[in-house]
């Protein structure tokens, strides 16, 4: 690793902790990336296959070596199969998270838990009515049970389609029907992808790509949307609130507990436990001033959006948070939790606590959470953190920065409320050209790109061009750390966007949630398209995942495009080994679903691509470009 830590991240907290890691001899994700160089070129192009034991096989991209695997599959089929499996894994992750929420809702409905309750009964009724659940004469518990059962049916194909299908504009549904990509059930599409990619099933690259689109739509309008809506019902629908972000949210004289992962089911209980007067007293008896809770990654965003709990950092900050030496416990659920956290924690007094039997980490402490013990288990983990605090070595503590303020909580309900109850003022601002368009900048960090650099600079460039930016996941944290999530950032926006933000008192970059909350963005696009009587692909909107790394991001990107939303990726997915699949992704899909992917790692050029798309769409709607 180079000594100039500014090459790795734009964040001063990251740079300081990378330096400390170097001094203390602790390995991080950047060191391991270097060790892995050069990456396998076949795998980077998507040209390797290990779907059966006649292989593994690889295709020579230069044409002089093998052009077919042992079974006869060519480059196009191998690339399309690999991409399909990435989408299936990403969709499965979001959707299995959604299922956990539905199980919690069902347990509430059946009276099997005292720990979880319905926090937003109005939304429970609204959503139940929307998806056709009869609520007449039923109490909240009965509605919760009926709604959960309705959603359970979405996972197989008991309903034949998704509960939220009516949120999709008619014209978009016609496109899906024409190409046979209407999702029939969430799990069904994932399972079918695993079937199709077995040796000797679907051997047509275009057909495989179309099914990838269908799998991803089952995620966006199914698993992710259910995760979002049920989280709101159980834990509350987010409203705008100010909090703080970066490693400066850790407090030197407090017991510091971090929650990391994705599902609010565990983190919400931890949030309740840290307020327990008994536990606070125990922390004080251990010599601490109190207990400090902060979040990492998406479960952090869930708590930030609903409770204003501060955010310690995004994906590439998770190891670095431990390197402050000030973290007693990281409680994790699942997804995006680097296995290396266990080794980094072992260099300090810190503990990693796993909570789900589907996500165990060798060397971590496992405390299984379930609907009937969650409150008690959360207390147990907080007590563990208090014990760990006694072993903290103050000489190794370094909290390198002061926290930055950020505003969060922009659910669609909150956005519409800020607009006076309907989307019309936003439509008027778009028509008038004050807000020229909207871009969702989402996704991860990836050590292959300078941490937060592409995401932050792209967002900054977009707001300058009067493009309203919606952020989720790790991208939200990237922009928050640089101050873009505060209303004052409107000063950096173009004059039109600045005027709208100042009138509404909102930032030019709106934090709409975690990665499953990308469902909020497509829902909003659906509402706008319906209000204008057009398809989503006609809207002056775009999406970007500048620093993506995960299979979940592939599913999100795929459903954005399948919804007709042009999507710019900072890194190419492993498809370049197939001219056919690459051509489809970059051009061909325009004729199918009305949108394509683009790949651009330069943040200004990426913003220009988004701007060009918005200009084209505005012209087609007879609006000034």
Q: Is 208 in the site for ligand SF4 (CB under 6 A)?
A: no
Q: Is 552 in the site for ligand BF8 (CB under 6 A)?
A: yes
Torsion of CA 271, 276, 278, 279, to 10 degrees: 10
Piece in contact with ligand SF4 (CB under 6 A), picked from 49-57, 461-469, 481-489, 554-562: 49-57
- SS3 state of residue 57: strand
Q: Is 71 in the site for ligand SF4 (CB under 6 A)?
A: yes
209, 280, 341, 474: which one binds ligand BF8 (CB under 6 A): 474
Nearest distance from residue 284's CB to ligand BF8, in Å? 33
- Give phi and psi for 52, each to the nearest 5: -155, 175
- SS3 state of residue 312: strand
Piece in contact with ligand SF4 (CB under 6 A), picked from 46-54, 105-113, 219-227, 410-418: 46-54
Q: How many CB atoms within 10 Å of residue 160?
A: 10
Site for ligand SF4, residues 237 to 296, rule: CB under 6 A: none
Q: Is 618 in the site for ligand BF8 (CB under 6 A)?
A: no
Nearest distance from residue 58's CB to ligand SF4, in Å? 9
Nearest distance from residue 195's CB to ligand BF8, in Å? 26
How far apart CA 226 and CA 571 sit, in angstroms, is 29
Q: Which residues contact 126 (CB under 8 A, 6 or more apart)?
A: none
Q: Is 550 in the site for ligand BF8 (CB under 6 A)?
A: yes
56, 156, 290, 625: which one binds ligand SF4 (CB under 6 A): 56
- In the complex with ligand BF8, the residue whose CB is nearer, 227 or 467, is 227
- Which partner in ligand BF8, ligand SF4, none is near 51 (CB below 5 to 8 A by kind)? ligand SF4
Nearest distance from residue 266's CB to ligand BF8, in Å? 15
51, 356, 411, 596: which one binds ligand SF4 (CB under 6 A): 51
Q: Is 73 in the site for ligand SF4 (CB under 6 A)?
A: yes
CA 593 to chain centre: 23
Antiparallel, parallel or unpaired: β 48-49 and 57-58: antiparallel
49, 327, 371, 553: which one binds ligand BF8 (CB under 6 A): 553
Q: Which of 135, 212, 113 is nearest to 559 (CA)?
A: 212
Q: Is 43 in the site for ligand SF4 (CB under 6 A)?
A: no
- Which partner in ligand SF4, ligand BF8, none is near 336 (CB below 5 to 8 A by kind)? ligand BF8
Q: Which of 180, 261, 255, 171 is nearest to 213 (CA)?
A: 180
For residue 417 the two structure tokens come to: 């409320």
Nearest distance from residue 455's CB to ligand BF8, in Å? 10
Q: Which residues contact 267 (CB under 8 A, 6 or more apart)?
A: 259, 261, 295, 299, 300, 302, 303, 331, 333
Q: Is 199 in the site for ligand SF4 (CB under 6 A)?
A: yes
Write out the H or E segment, with its range, that includes residue 311.
Answer: strand 311-313
Binding mask 148-187 for ligand SF4 (x = CB under 6 A): ----------------------------------------
How far apart CA 92 and CA 322 sit, in angstroms, is 29
- In the complex with ligand BF8, the residue whose CB is nearer, 175 or 298, is 298
298, 534, 558, 560: which one binds ligand BF8 (CB under 6 A): 298
**What string of DSSP letters covers 524-588?**
HHHHHHHHHTS-GGGSSEEEEETT--SHHHHHHHHHHHHTT-EEEESS--TTTT-HHHHHIIIII
511 phi-psi bin (left φ>0, alpha ψ -120 to 50, beta other): beta
Nearest distance from residue 47's CB to ligand SF4, in Å? 10
Count of chain residues binding ligand BF8 (CB under 6 A)? 14
Q: Is 425 in the site for ligand SF4 (CB under 6 A)?
A: no
Over the range 183-209, which residues count as b (16 or more CB within 10 Å of their CB) and which as e?
Answer: bbbbbbbbebbeebbebeebbebeebb
Please report how the helices 224-235 and 140-155 are oriented relative to each other, as an axis angle in degrees rounded to 10: 170
- Which partner in ligand BF8, ligand SF4, none is near 382 (CB below 5 to 8 A by kind)? none
Nearest distance from residue 605's CB to ligand BF8, in Å? 22
Q: Is 50 in the site for ligand SF4 (CB under 6 A)?
A: yes
- In the complex with ligand BF8, the residue whose CB is nearer, 297 or 342, is 297
Piece in contact with ligand SF4 (CB under 6 A), picked from 48-56, 271-279, 484-492, 558-566: 48-56
Over the range 51-82, which residues count as b (16 or more CB within 10 Å of their CB) and which as e?
Answer: beeebebbbebeeeeeeebebebebbbbbbbb
How far apart CA 254 and CA 270 sit, in angstroms, is 16
- Which partner in ligand SF4, ligand BF8, none is near 49 (CB below 5 to 8 A by kind)? ligand SF4
Q: What is the 3-state secondary structure (H, E, C) of 350-410?
A: CEEEECCCCCCCCCCEECCCCCCCHHHHHHHHHHHHHHHHCCCCHHHCCCCCCCEEEEECC
How far is CA 126 from each of CA 129, 151, 162, rounded to the nearest angstrom? 5, 15, 17
Q: Is 451 in the site for ligand BF8 (CB under 6 A)?
A: no
Piece in contact with ligand SF4 (CB under 6 A), picked from 44-52, 86-94, 379-387, 390-398: 44-52
Site for ligand BF8, residues 75 to 94, rule: CB under 6 A: none
Q: Which of 43, 21, 41, 93 is nearest to 556 (CA)?
A: 93
Nearest distance from residue 433's CB to ligand BF8, in Å? 32
Binding mask 170-199 for ligand BF8 (x = CB under 6 A): ------------------------------
- Give phi and psi for 289, each to the nearest 5: -80, -20
158 HSE (CA, 13 A, CB side): 9
Q: Is 98 in the site for ligand BF8 (CB under 6 A)?
A: no
- Which partner in ligand SF4, ligand BF8, none is near 489 (CB below 5 to 8 A by kind)? none
Binding mask 306-345 for ligand BF8 (x = CB under 6 A): --------xx--------------------x---------
Q: Is 66 in the site for ligand SF4 (CB under 6 A)?
A: no
Find residue 438's DSSP bridge partners: 468, 541
Interface with ligand SF4 by CB under 6 A: which residues?
Answer: 49-52, 54-57, 69-71, 73, 78, 199
Interface with ligand BF8 by CB under 6 A: which residues?
Answer: 262, 297-298, 314-315, 336, 443-444, 473-474, 515, 550, 552-553
């Amino acid at each position: 690793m180079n000594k100039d830590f500014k090459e790795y991240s734009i964040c001063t907290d990251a740079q300081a902790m990378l330096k400390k890691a170097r001094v203390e001899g602790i390995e991080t994700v950047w060191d391991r990336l270097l060790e892995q160089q050069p990456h396998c070129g076949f795998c980077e192009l998507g040209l390797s296959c290990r779907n059966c034991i006649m292989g593994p096989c690889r295709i020579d991209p230069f044409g002089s070596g093998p052009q077919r695997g042992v079974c006869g599959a060519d480059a196009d089929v191998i690339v399309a199969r690999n991409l399909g499996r990435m989408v299936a894994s990403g969709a499965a992750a979001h959707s299995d998270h959604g299922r956990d929420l539905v199980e919690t809702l069902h347990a509430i409905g059946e009276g099997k838990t005292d720990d979880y309750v319905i926090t937003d009964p109005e939304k429970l009724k609204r959503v139940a009515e929307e998806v056709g659940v009869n609520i007449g004469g039923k109490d909240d518990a009965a509605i919760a049970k009926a709604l959960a059962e309705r959603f359970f049916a979405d996972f197989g194909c008991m309903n034949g389609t998704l509960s939220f299908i009516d949120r999709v504009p008619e014209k978009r549904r016609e496109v899906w029907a024409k190409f046979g990509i209407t999702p029939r059930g969430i799990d069904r599409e994932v399972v079918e992808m695993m079937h199709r990619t077995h040796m000797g099933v679907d051997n047509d690259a275009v057909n495989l790509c179309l099914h990838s689109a269908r799998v991803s739509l089952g995620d966006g309008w199914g698993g992710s949307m259910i995760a979002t809506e049920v989280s709101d019902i159980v834990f509350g629908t987010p409203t705008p609130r100010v909090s703080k972000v970066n490693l400066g949210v850790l407090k030197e004289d407090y017991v510091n507990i971090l929650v990391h992962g994705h599902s609010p089911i565990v983190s919400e209980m931890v949030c309740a436990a840290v307020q327990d007067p008994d536990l606070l007293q125990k922390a004080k008896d251990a010599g601490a001033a109190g207990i400090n809770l902060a979040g990492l990654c998406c479960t952090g965003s869930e708590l930030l959006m609903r409770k204003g709990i501060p955010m310690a950092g995004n994906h590439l900050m998770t190891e670095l948070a431990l390197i402050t030496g000030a973290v007693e416990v990281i409680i994790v659920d699942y997804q995006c939790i680097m296995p290396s956290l266990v080794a980094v924690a072992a260099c300090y007094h810190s503990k990693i606590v796993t909570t789900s039997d589907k996500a165990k980490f060798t060397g971590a402490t496992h405390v299984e959470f379930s609907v009937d013990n969650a409150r008690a288990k959360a207390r147990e983990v907080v007590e563990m953190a208090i014990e760990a605090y006694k072993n903290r070595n103050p000489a190794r503590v370094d909290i390198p920065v002061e926290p930055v303020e950020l505003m969060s909580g922009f659910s669609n309900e909150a956005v519409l409320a800020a607009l006076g109850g309907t989307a019309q003022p936003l439509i008027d601002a778009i028509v008038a050209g004050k807000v020229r368009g909207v871009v969702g900048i989402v996704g991860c960090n990836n050590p292959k790109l300078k941490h937060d650099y592409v995401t932050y600079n792209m967002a900054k460039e977009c707001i300058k061009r009067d493009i309203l930016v919606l952020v989720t996941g790790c991208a939200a944290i990237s922009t928050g750390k640089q101050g873009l999530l505060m209303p004052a950032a409107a000063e950096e926006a173009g004059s039109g966007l600045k005027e709208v933000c100042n009138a509404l008192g909102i930032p030019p970059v709106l934090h709409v949630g975690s990665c499953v909350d990308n469902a909020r963005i497509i829902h909003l696009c659906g509402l706008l398209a319906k209000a204008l009587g057009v398809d989503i692909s006609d809207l002056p909107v775009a999406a970007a995942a500048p620093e993506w790394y995960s299979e979940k991001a592939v599913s999100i990107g795929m459903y954005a495009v399948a919804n007709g939303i042009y999507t710019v990726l900072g890194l190419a997915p492993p498809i370049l080994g197939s001219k056919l699949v690459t051509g489809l992704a970059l051009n061909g899909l325009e004729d199918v679903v009305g949108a394509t992917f683009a790949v651009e790692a330069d943040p200004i050029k990426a913003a220009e691509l988004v701007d060009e798309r918005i200009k084209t769409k505005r012209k087609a709607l007879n609006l000034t470009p």
